Structure 1
Amino acid sequence: MNFSLHESDLSRFGNDWNNVESFLRSHGLDGVELFVDHTPLPDFPSGVVEGVHLPYWMGRHRAWMDESAFNEEMDENEKFFLFGGHDRQDMIVNFRNALENAASINAEYGVFHVAYVELDHVFTRDFGVSDIEVMDSTAEFLNESVSLLPKGEPSVRLFFENLWWPGLNLLDTAATMHFVNSLEFENWAFTLDTGHLMNAIMDCTDEKSAIDSVLEVLARYPEDILDRIEGMHFHCSLSGDYQMQVARKGIPAGYYDLSFHERLIAVMEHISKIDQHMPFTQKECRKIVDFVKPRFLTHEFETHGLSELDWKLRTQIRALCGGAGRNK
């Protein structure tokens, strides 16, 4: 399951990793996918960590392509949140430090977002860039970041995750192939986020048809790409109606008068309504898992307490009871 070192996650287990491990065992889980960034890690039992989720700097594409973005007048917290550093070299150093944190706890992989979105874009969908442009800048950033590492490879296998913003959304097979052909290293794979793909499809409003839509997209890919989907973030998102409603409304009134923190809260509330992170309830969800056959499956939920997390895990694990496979 997804997890972090934030107090909101740890406190529900009494800040005791023994309780975390007991909870994992009670659900038949092997460990956690832990969020890590570039800052030093505290002491904790690393054996419970299977993989990590690396930080996502939403505006990295713009800053990488135009360094004048680093000189814009904005709250310093907002600048780092968007760009992940104070200049291009700082971005690289912070990314490498996050990788080293992952390696220090023997993580099997590090999930990395290949996407670009600024805060107001989540309301307007007026991104101003193409998927290819974002994937090109990301490939350049990654290639430069890992080029001086031992053997020119990341110290932890990078798992590229799909989002529904410009970049890797998996809807265009040619664009996905373009991205992987732009990489100058081999230690990579994909994490398929099922809910994010449903968000990208945009018309998912009921679970069974959403599952079928995900399978239709995956069926377009050749075997060698499907075999590279080694991770899966498993959850359901049926926000098609909401996305269409909000796209017509645009920026909320008074949005630009808010502080960075207030705008961020508004954005995250909106995103949570798009990216619902609900458990699958239909046994047909197993078809996605059987088709992809990932090495790692992460039950990825957003919850407000231990009882909600327990319920979502039990609901989704119960649904994983059957389906059809893909010949490999």
Structure 2
Amino acid sequence: MKSLMNFSLHESDLSRFENDWNNIESFLRTHGLDGVELFVDHTPLPDFPYGVVKGVHLPYWMGRHRAWVDEKAFHEDMDENEKFFLFGGHDRQDMIANFINALKNAASVNAEYGVFHVAYVELDHVFTRDFGVSDMEVMDSTAEFLNRSVSLLPGGEPPVRLFFENLWWPGLNLLDTAATMHFIDSLEFGNWAFTLDTGHLMNAIMNCTDEKHAIGSVLEVLARYPEDIIDRIEGMHFHCSLSGDYQMQVARNGVPADYYDLSFHERLIAVMEHVSKIDQHMPFTDERCREIVDFVKPRFLTHEFETSNLPELEWKLRTQIRALCGEDR
């Protein structure tokens, strides 16, 4: 198993290491990590030492489902930045081209996999949970989008192994085994696997308020799946999220006052602040977290955290590695 941390080429990440990849590589060695899972999108990549990249996280266009099933969405009167953020393009062909370019970026850095979200949510849905679509509908549109895109690539396969990640919004959430199997059966290519995001699964369960219970709940969901599906979970985003009480409270409150009067940028900030309270990205502290890793036996485990500075990142890494491995690094 390769142990990684999430990383991006954004200044907020690079500046912690004085924009020096030697410092990044030294940090990885200090903490016993094999490399990074790097966020990449469809835009050209700068030069940097690609050897540190073991996997990538592909972009998530959260409203893709709506635009894919109803192309009128592309012509709605909305800010162009909002339209691209939601849909990933200005029409279907643009969406496909941008996705393919992201895959090519992943291949260009020799990534062994690319994480892809199978989920749909509109900005206001994150407050109301009034999604208006089923998991199956989102998985069907996603499979169609993926099949169409991948069919245009050499050999009809993605150039890096696609790792499908669970979220807590409509789509792949892993709670319904039949829906998961339906999604698998809808795929027309073979170079794929799953990434289990432990925190996202806790969010989907919704009643996780303490770590011991949350770990047990994750194991209960995994136990519903046959061995051949567990074997397909080749990646893991490892972190803890205990936001059950908060989710229930906000679902009752609905959309914040004056939300619809805000600009796109202001609404996005409000949404991201809310999402960060749901998806907490905290380190595991209970050594029983090892049971999740032992059950799945992933090829890649990414310590996935959201942090404001290097000391916070170090603290979260050390805390979780201590729980997982029983030692400090």
Q: Provide the rounded CA distance (Å) in 2 between the counterparts of 1:137 and 1:300.
A: 28
Give 2:192's aligned residue.
188
Give 2:83's aligned residue.
79
1:102 corresponds, among 79, 90, 106, to 106
The one-letter code sitting in structure 1 at the alignment partner of 2:135 is D
Unaligned runs of at least 5 residues, structure 2: none
Q: How many residues align?
A: 322
Deviation at 1:151, TM superposition (A): 1.1
Give 1:285's aligned residue.
289
1:132 corresponds, among 133, 136, 143, to 136
Q: Provide the rounded CA distance (Å) in 2 between the counterparts of 1:49 and 1:268.
A: 26
2:56 corresponds, among 42, 52, 55, to 52
Confirm whether residue 215 of structure 1 aligns to residue 240 of structure 2: no
The one-letter code sitting in structure 2 at the alignment partner of 1:91 is M
Q: Provide the rounded CA distance (Å) in 1 between the counterparts of 2:227 and 2:200.
A: 22
Q: Provide the rounded CA distance (Å) in 2 between the counterparts of 1:16 and 1:151.
A: 38
Give 2:39's aligned residue.
35
Confirm whether residue 257 of structure 1 aligns to residue 249 of structure 2: no
Give 2:324's aligned residue.
320
Q: Provide the rounded CA distance (Å) in 2 between the counterparts of 1:301 and 1:193.
A: 12
Percent same amino acid among aligned pairs?
89
Give 1:236's aligned residue.
240
Give 2:11's aligned residue.
7
Deviation at 1:321, TM superposition (A): 3.1
The one-letter code sitting in structure 2 at the alignment partner of 1:192 is L
Q: Provide the rounded CA distance (Å) in 1 between the counterparts of 2:95 and 2:254.
A: 31
Give 1:326's aligned residue.
none
The one-letter code sitting in structure 1 at the alignment partner of 2:274 is H
Confirm whether residue 115 of structure 1 aligns to residue 116 of structure 2: no
Give 1:325's aligned residue.
none
Q: Provide the rounded CA distance (Å) in 2 between the counterparts of 1:222 and 1:89.
A: 37
TM-score (norm 2): 0.97
Give 1:297's aligned residue.
301
1:179 corresponds, among 180, 183, 197, to 183
Runs of 4+ in 1 over 6 A off after TM superposition: none
Cα deviation per residue 1:245-287 (whole Å; 9 max; x = unaligned)?
0000000000000000000000000000000000000000000
Q: Provide the rounded CA distance (Å) in 1 between the counterparts of 2:216 and 2:128.
A: 28
Unaligned runs of at least 5 residues, structure 1: 323-328
Give 1:267's aligned residue.
271
1:150 corresponds, among 146, 150, 154, to 154
Cα deviation per residue 1:188-241 (whole Å; 9 max; x = unaligned)?
000000000000000000000100000000000001100000000000000000
Deviation at 1:148, TM superposition (A): 1.9
Q: Provide the rounded CA distance (Å) in 2 between the counterparts of 1:152 and 1:201.
A: 36
Q: Provide the rounded CA distance (Å) in 2 between the counterparts of 1:6 and 1:126.
A: 33
1:93 corresponds, among 92, 97, 102, to 97
Aligned partner of residue 168 in structure 1, secondary structure? coil
Q: Provide the rounded CA distance (Å) in 2 between the counterparts of 1:120 and 1:110.
A: 28
Q: Provide the rounded CA distance (Å) in 1 between the counterparts of 2:144 and 2:269.
A: 31
The one-letter code sitting in structure 2 at the alignment partner of 1:228 is R
Q: Provide the rounded CA distance (Å) in 1 between the counterparts of 2:160 and 2:101.
A: 12
1:246 corresponds, among 233, 240, 250, to 250
The one-letter code sitting in structure 2 at the alignment partner of 1:59 is G
Cα deviation per residue 1:136-180 (whole Å; 9 max; x = unaligned)?
000000000000211100011000000000000000000000000
Deviation at 1:6, TM superposition (A): 0.3
Aligned partner of residue 320 in structure 1, secondary structure? helix
Give 1:311's aligned residue.
315
Q: Provide the rounded CA distance (Å) in 2 between the counterparts of 1:11 and 1:26.
A: 19
Q: Provide the rounded CA distance (Å) in 2 between the counterparts of 1:105 and 1:148.
A: 21
Q: Provide the rounded CA distance (Å) in 2 between the counterparts of 1:76 and 1:8.
A: 25
Give 2:168's aligned residue.
164
Aligned partner of residue 72 in structure 2, secondary structure? helix
Cα deviation per residue 1:106-145 (whole Å; 9 max; x = unaligned)?
0000000000000000000000000000000000000000
Q: Provide the rounded CA distance (Å) in 1 between the counterparts of 2:144 and 2:325.
A: 42
Aligned partner of residue 171 in structure 2, secondary structure? coil
Cα root mean square deviation, aligned: 0.5
